[in-house]
Amino acid sequence: MEGFFSGIGFVSGGILNVTPRQALELCRKGALLVDVREEFMNRFKMFDVPEIIYCPYSILNETFQNLPAEKPIIFADAVGLHSREAVIFLNENGFAGRTANLAGGLVEWEHDELPLIIDKSEKLSGSCMCQLRPRDKSLLP
């Protein structure tokens, strides 16, 4: 795994961040995507990558030991905030050098038109960040 993330992404605040396109390519090369959104948030729109684990941020501190030790891990959420906190936590708990944050989360992933699995029966109501859409300007006066 040495050098898996070498030359990829950008470091901000000591955390490696990867763009959605970089994350997809890394996942196709063997990285594991860990979606830290809460269960009710991750059923409508899901990242379509070869290997994904759903581990809500609220229980990460109880379950992180179950993450595979042999894989590089990219943490993701709706916009990249909880996933960033997950990377910090994991780096402090023995995972340093094999973690990255998905910058912009699902919002940027979808903006870049990357693969998603959508279950319309699980659509959330309200103004969830993962459902924001550009305003239809044809409806404006």
pLDDT band at 70; cut points 50, 70, 90: confident
Each domain of the chain, given as residue ranges in start order, spans 16-122
Instruction: Judge whether 19 and 10 are in contact, CB under 8 Å.
Output: no
**Which of 4, 61, 1 is closest to 36 using CA atoms?**
61
Average pLDDT, stretch 1-19?
90
d(CA 140, CA 25): 39
Rounded to whole angstroms, the Cα distance separating 41 from 38 reads 5
At the topology level, CATH places domain 16-122 in Oxidized Rhodanese; domain 1 (3.40.250)
Give the CA count within 13 Å in the CB-facing half-sphere of 130. 24
Closest CA to 85 of 122, 125, 46, 57: 57
Question: How confident is the model over 88-137, as pLDDT tens digits?
Answer: 999 999 999 999 999 999 999 999 999 998 777 767 565 555 554 444 44
What lies within 8 Å, CB to CB, of 33 at 6+ separation is 23, 27, 47, 49, 51, 52, 53, 73, 74, 76, 102
Helix, strand, coil % in the chain, rounded to nearest 5: 35, 20, 45
Q: pLDDT, tens digit, for every residue of 12-55?
A: 999 999 999 999 999 999 999 999 998 877 777 899 999 999 99
